[in-house]
Amino acid sequence: MKLATKLTSSFSWLLSVLVLLCGCGGGPGTSYSGSPSGSPSGPPAQGQSISSNWQFSTTSTVGMPPLTIAGSISLSGTSLSGAVHVDGSNCFDRLTTVDLTGTLTGSNISLTSASDAGQVATFTGTIPNNALSGTYSPGQLTGTYTINGGCANGDQGNVTGVKILYVANTLSGTFTTSEGGTFDVAGAVAQDSASSHEGSFGVSGTVTFSSPCFSSGTITSGTFPSGSFILGTSVALEIATGNGTIAFVGTLNPDQGEISGDYTVSGGTCDQTGTAVLVTSSPWDY
């Protein structure tokens, strides 16, 4: 997948990141691990937990700021768990991981957050039956939310969410320096199938560059807020080269598969800043 059509906001992330509610390896529970370079290998074994990357947006009916919630939701049987980050309001710290628990009954979903500075959020809505049970199944959520306690007490309204499909397979794109020069990147990437405890999903891979500064690089999997990962639509890539490290932070456009953002190069002889647009191909593209 071309790094979804080239590496919208810098670290407003965060894939998204982002990115509302209900993502690098080894999170709570083991999720279905499909092959990022081929077709889905079928449904997970019975009882196995499946993690998926989600981004939600709220529209308050009482005049509160809209929220973006991004992170992982895992399904085991009819039980749901998640880890998300909330952005868009001074009532929440985006760096704080908020745990979720809930249930899925048919297409009806309910989620309740752990207390965050005294604030407890509840979400109810509907979701396609296979959106949480299939690793490569797309999904959308529509419903309502309420927040009780703390700074955001009394906030309520409507919530919509979208499942962010895997970033995997081929990666390509163009980096544009702040002076107007350009260089291209091409390679292969894979997203971890299991989310971290922070709700992000690690991204790893190898790439080559059309640049006299560096010929190749390694993308090292990480966990929000460091290393290479996706959280909602916020994407961060840390690419180690033989002549410095490229740090990219961008936002994925799920409809176009394009990641746009900013980058810096440090630790070598070609330190620089600029923008990049990347594209990846995904397992569902085949």
pLDDT for the residue numbered 282? 59
Q: Average pLDDT over the chain, rounded to whole?
A: 84
Quick check: do 50-164 and 169-285 share a fold?
A: yes
Asked if residue 283 has a cis previous peptide bond (ω within 30° of 0), the answer is: no
Residue 48 above 60 pLDDT? no
User: Can you tell me the distance from the alpha carbon of 277 to that of 279, in angstroms, rounded to the nearest whole number?
Assistant: 7
Residue-wise pLDDT tens digits, 255-286: 888 999 999 999 999 999 999 999 987 544 43
Span 247-255, average pLDDT: 94
Pick from 35-44, 114-123, 135-144, 180-189: least confident:
35-44
More confident residue, 136 or 230: 230
The model's confidence at residue 254, banded by pLDDT at 50, 70 and 90, is confident
**Four-point Cα dihedral 162, 166, 167, 170, nearest 10:** -130
User: Can you tell me the distance from the alpha carbon of 224 to that of 9, in angstroms, rounded to the nearest whole number?
Assistant: 17
pLDDT for the residue numbered 167? 85
- Residue among 31, 25, 110 nearest 75 (CA): 31
Span 125-147, average pLDDT: 86
pLDDT for the residue numbered 138? 83
CATH number assigned to the domain with residue range 50-164, chosen from the 4 options 3.30.1950.10, 3.40.1160.10, 2.40.128.30, 3.50.50.60:
2.40.128.30
Report whether 138 contacts 283 (CB < 8 A). no
Architecture of the domain made up of 169-285: Beta Barrel (2.40)
- Tokens describing residue 126: 């509907």
Residue-wise pLDDT tens digits, 160-192: 999 998 888 899 999 999 999 999 999 999 999
User: Can you tell me the distance from the alpha carbon of 24 to that of 195, in angstroms, rounded to the nearest whole number?
Assistant: 5
The DSSP bridge partners found for residue 194 are none
Spell out the domain ranges in the chain. 50-164, 169-285
